[in-house]
A and B are shown apart, each in its own frame.
Chain A
Amino acid sequence: MTANTENKGFVYVEGKKVAIENEKNLLEVIRKAQIELPTFCYHSELSVYGACRLCLVDIEGMGIQASCSIAPKDGMKVTVHNSQIREMRKTNIELLLAAGHHNCTTCVKTGMCKLQDIAKKLGIKEVRFKQNTEVKERNTSSHALVRDPEKCVLCGDCIRMCSEVQGIGVIDFVNRGSKTEVLPAFGKNLDDVECINCGQCVRICPTGALTSKSEVSHIWQDIWNPGKKVAVQVAPAVRVALGEMYGLKEGENTTGLIVTALRMLGFDYVYDTSYSADLTIFEEVNEFIGRFEKGEKLPLFTSCCPGWIKHAEHCYPELLENVSSCKSPQQMLASAIKESFVQEGGKREDISVVSVMPCTAKKFEAKRPEFSKDGDFDVSNVLTTMELARMIDEKGIKFLELEPSAFDMPFGFKTGAGIIFGAAGGVTEAVVRFVLGKVAPEADYKPITKVLHESKSLKEMEVDLGGGKKVRIAAVNGLKNAQNLIADIKSGKKQYDFVEIMACPNGCVGGAGQPAITGRENMKQRSEGLYSIDDQVQLHKSQDNHYIAELYKNLVGEVGGKKAHEMFHTHYHSRQRIKLKPEEAKGKTNINVCFGSSCVANGAKKLYQETRQLVKEKGVDAKVHMTPSFCYEKCTRGPVVKINDAIIEKADAKKVAAELDKQVKK
């Protein structure tokens, strides 16, 4: 019992006296008594939903109740297992089995599926109900995620994860009763809505209803193609989680084993994404210092997380110019690999780059058209940590018995700064190490910063650069937390110069590509695993990575230079949330009022009504064609109104009236 817990009485679980501490519900008290009640819809990180009806218990005087939805009270006498409860639980599972088509042998979730596990534990040998014959179609339209409604048990975990933790709410229940389904708005594909591909829904899904989209077959084909070289890069977070698939503890470092396994799988070059994490620091700090000195476009937001980037494109178009133009480490390394291969006389398309990532959004990032040249993508395929384990198992490699080996050079060399990118706040720390390393090269790498606030999801600090210059920094993880932070920045409540945003709770170590067998409480060990690798390596500051100096000397030129921009920087574009196509009428004065999210926030709706009124007052109704439209990408200067070819920024009724007079006369 910790100091801050106070005894609130006792519950008698099967006659055993269990103290009530700070548990929100009876289920948690029962679990404390070493009894693992089965659940689908209960997760301590999400709100209580009470839908799966598996955590049923018999409470004296209250009858059979779902223990997740009951507050523990002193003196409660609870039976967790009797013939009635047993029958009810079995019936529930049998109904779920009869309603869907679970096809365990061909399901990627097999062995990690809660439905399978619970059915086995409850000893279900037959399903007494008629199998539902209707088959709902599997949706594979997204680059990152696969939705299979046949395997859905309607626990709603994915829905609550997406809205409560990630703050988006891309999917929800549709219809009711036996027709209930989990779908994106209007039954659209995930790629056509605001889904950021973070895959937290995949991580929490108890069955195979939501999974990552595997590209394993394509990768084998590339490996077996004699005319092709295949390079593979491994992200930092993978090395402290893959071992979990083989029974190792969370956070255990398996770097050497992974490198050996990748060579055995047939990859020609095995590289480390930590190398390009170091490289990112060179470019991003350069960009930051430039802005910091001029005091413009601050705070600078990091751009390593593809989930955050897509969210910004959908919901914060006005902040896109504050987002670092640096590509993510995955894309930077792919650029460097392809470009070096070409420099050495190879053909760009003769080398393909595969990356092993803890993340499902990286699959989407790799397929962004700006990261390709004549249809040849810089990163051709992305493997998640779990998919790598599948390839290792498919080839029959005995992972734990391998001899560790080292990455190939030059792109396998890294400093500790590149390693800690995988932990929440790691990018920030790497930046601070770099900056302080420039100010005081002799000082210890462990940054001396003034930590103003630290919680699981947010760290705020201040770095003194000397000469009265102080950099205010925030590192936030979990998209909902990031939204709250951005709201504070916008309202002026908080001021920062540099903000790190990682969409997934706990950063990359908590990505959806990581083994799902681990609970969230164990994510910390993975982060600690990365920091202990950092302790073991020789160098800790990105500027000490001499292979990067060499890359600039031989291939790239200057940091932040022209070639660097071509290879390592990108641009973002505002993405539609409402599909409103501007319609134009020939021979008329066309007025388009922008209804992009930021113009709406800046009063587009009021302006739209005012403009309509204006048109009527001026009696030019017949000569004018007025339509709402979407985003002119001038989000910082909204609301925007376009009259014929004239674009009015920061528009108001007066400006619109003046321009209207001019245009109607034409």
Chain B
Amino acid sequence: MSVEKLSDVIAILNEYDNNPSKLIPILQKVQHKYNYLPEDAMTFVANSLGIPPAKVFGVATFFSHFSITPKGKHIIKICDGTACHVKKSEGIINAVQNKLGLNAQKHTTDDFNFTLECVSCLGACGIAPVVVIDEEVHPQMTPEKVTALIDEVAKKEAQNAGK
């Protein structure tokens, strides 16, 4: 575990007074920092809180909010709830998968720039089909519109890398 990561995790633990009943908020913060829950961080959290690592792993795998595999920098959530599904969200999913070289098993691009998540109902059925990229909600998506959005994000990413 790197120095920075350890320091981050210690800081998060201190923020919650190393209180075992605060396991979920602690994991949320760790995930927020790394986009996922690294194994060494979970072990460290477990030991610091005095609870078995198996319990922490159990919590981390129980909630779909937590991810135990590394995620990309940008998270694309495509709603596949009933309303979005009827409005052809499947076509959008296929378009994104094709665009980024992903499939049903592979959710994250090799450069760790994008992760695709299919979610059930984002509660915005009126503007279906819905796509959320990072924190921004995009209504009434089509395969063309979503590909354009991804191009835009990728372009910004390339500019940032160039700086």
Pick from B10, B39, B43, B61: contact of A605, CB below 8 A. B10
Question: Which residues between 147 and 200 of chain A lie within 8 Å of chain B, taking CB atoms?
Answer: 163, 168-176, 183-187, 193-194
The answer to whether B48 touches A186, judged by C-beta atoms less than 8 angstroms apart, is: no
Let me know if A5 is at the binding interface, CB within 8 A: no
**Residue-wise interface mask of A (491-531) relative to B, using a CB-CB cutoff of 8 A (1 in contact, 0 not):** 00000000000000000000000000000000000000000
The answer to whether A172 touches B10, judged by C-beta atoms less than 8 angstroms apart, is: no
Chain A CB within 10 A, most for which of B47, B48, B57: B57
User: How far does the Cβ of B13 sit from chain A's closest Cβ, in whole Å?
Assistant: 8
The answer to whether A605 touches B52, judged by C-beta atoms less than 8 angstroms apart, is: no
Let me know if A597 is at the binding interface, CB within 8 A: yes
Let me know if B58 is at the binding interface, CB within 8 A: yes
**Residue-wise interface mask of B (50-76) relative to A, using a CB-CB cutoff of 8 A (1 in contact, 0 not):** 011111111001100000100000000
A174 to B57, CA, bound (A): 7
**Residue-wise interface mask of A (16-36) relative to B, using a CB-CB cutoff of 8 A (1 in contact, 0 not):** 000000000000000000000
The answer to whether B58 touches A172, judged by C-beta atoms less than 8 angstroms apart, is: yes
User: How far does the Cβ of B55 sit from chain A's closest Cβ, in whole Å?
Assistant: 5
- Stretch of A355-363, A381-389, A543-551, A574-582 contacting B (4+ beta carbons < 8 Å): A574-582
Let me know if B161 is at the binding interface, CB within 8 A: no
A579 to B58, CA, bound (A): 19
Pick from A169, A580, A595, A628: contact of B55, CB below 8 A. A169
Which B residues are in CB contact (< 8 Å) with A171? 54
**Residue-wise interface mask of B (84-127) relative to A, using a CB-CB cutoff of 8 A (1 in contact, 0 not):** 00000000000000000000000000000000000000000000
Closest chain B residue to A176 by CB distance?
B62
Which B residues are in CB contact (< 8 Å) with A600? 47-48
Pick from B6, B42, B56, B68: contact of A628, CB below 8 A. B6
Pick from A169, A174, A578: contact of B40, CB below 8 A. A578
A401 to B156, CA, bound (A): 85
Let me know if B7 is at the binding interface, CB within 8 A: yes
Looking at chain A, what size class is its interface with the partner chain? 20 to 34
Let me know if B1 is at the binding interface, CB within 8 A: yes
Let me know if A608 is at the binding interface, CB within 8 A: yes
Pick from B7, B40, B54: contact of A580, CB below 8 A. B40
The answer to whether A163 touches B52, judged by C-beta atoms less than 8 angstroms apart, is: yes
Which B residues are in CB contact (< 8 Å) with A172? 52, 54-55, 57-58
Let me know if B3 is at the binding interface, CB within 8 A: yes
The answer to whether A580 touches B1, judged by C-beta atoms less than 8 angstroms apart, is: yes
Which B residues are in CB contact (< 8 Å) with A169? 51-52, 54-55
Let me know if A612 is at the binding interface, CB within 8 A: yes
Looking at chain B, what size class is its interface with the partner chain? 20 to 34
Closest chain A residue to B63 by CB distance?
A176
The answer to whether A609 touches B54, judged by C-beta atoms less than 8 angstroms apart, is: no
The answer to whether B52 touches A170, judged by C-beta atoms less than 8 angstroms apart, is: yes
A640 to B137, CA, bound (A): 51
**Residue-wise interface mask of B (1-13) relative to A, using a CB-CB cutoff of 8 A (1 in contact, 0 not):** 1110011001001
Chain A CB within 10 A, most for which of B42, B43, B46, B58: B58
Give the interface SS of chain A, mostly helix, strand, loop or mixed.
mixed
Which A residues are in CB contact (< 8 Å) with B39? 186
Let me know if A644 is at the binding interface, CB within 8 A: no
Let me know if A626 is at the binding interface, CB within 8 A: yes
The answer to whether B6 touches A608, judged by C-beta atoms less than 8 angstroms apart, is: yes
Let me know if A627 is at the binding interface, CB within 8 A: yes
Give the interface SS of chain B, mostly helix, strand, loop or mixed.
helix
Closest chain A residue to B3 by CB distance?
A626
The answer to whether A185 touches B61, judged by C-beta atoms less than 8 angstroms apart, is: no
Closest chain B residue to A170 by CB distance?
B54
Closest chain A residue to B18 by CB distance?
A605
The answer to whether B54 touches A176, judged by C-beta atoms less than 8 angstroms apart, is: no
User: How far does the Cβ of A36 sit from chain B's closest Cβ, in whole Å?
Assistant: 32
A186 to B39, CA, bound (A): 7
Chain B CB within 10 A, most for which of A163, A175, A597, A605: A605
User: How far does the Cβ of B57 sit from chain A's closest Cβ, in whole Å?
Assistant: 5
Which A residues are in CB contact (< 8 Å) with B44? 578, 595
Chain B CB within 10 A, most for which of A174, A185, A193, A628: A185
A186 to B52, CA, bound (A): 11
A193 to B44, CA, bound (A): 14
Chain B CB within 10 A, most for which of A172, A175, A194: A172
Closest chain B residue to A169 by CB distance?
B52
**Residue-wise interface mask of B (145-156) relative to A, using a CB-CB cutoff of 8 A (1 in contact, 0 not):** 000000000000
User: How far does the Cβ of A191 sit from chain B's closest Cβ, in whole Å?
Assistant: 14
Pick from A175, A183, A579, A626: contact of B54, CB below 8 A. A183
Q: With contacts A597-B47, A627-B3, A628-B1 known, is A184 near B54, CB below 8 A?
A: yes
The answer to whether A175 touches B62, judged by C-beta atoms less than 8 angstroms apart, is: yes
**Residue-wise interface mask of A (578-601) relative to B, using a CB-CB cutoff of 8 A (1 in contact, 0 not):** 111000000000000001010010
User: How far does the Cβ of A50 sit from chain B's closest Cβ, in whole Å?
Assistant: 18
A597 to B48, CA, bound (A): 9
Q: With contacts A163-B52, A173-B58 known, is A579 near B40, CB below 8 A?
A: yes
Closest chain B residue to A577 by CB distance?
B47
Which A residues are in CB contact (< 8 Å) with B46? 185
Question: Which residues between 25 and 56 of chain B lie within 8 Å of chain A, taking CB atoms?
Answer: 39-40, 42-44, 46-48, 51-56
Q: With contacts A169-B55, A597-B47 known, is A609 near B10, CB below 8 A?
A: yes
Closest chain B residue to A609 by CB distance?
B10
Known contacts A185-B57, A605-B13; 7 additional CB pairs below 8 A are A170-B52, A171-B54, A174-B57, A186-B43, A186-B68, A600-B47, A609-B10
Top 3 closest A-B pairs, CB basis?
A169-B52, A185-B53, A172-B58
Chain A residues proximal to chain B, CB less than 8 Å: 163, 168-176, 183-187, 193-194, 577-580, 595, 597, 600, 605, 608-609, 612, 626-628
A/B interface sample: 28 pairs, CB < 8 A: A168-B52, A169-B54, A169-B55, A170-B52, A171-B54, A172-B54, A172-B58, A174-B57, A174-B58, A174-B61, A175-B62, A176-B61, A184-B54, A185-B43, A186-B43, A186-B53, A577-B53, A578-B43, A578-B47, A579-B40, A595-B44, A600-B48, A605-B10, A605-B13, A608-B7, A608-B10, A626-B3, A627-B2
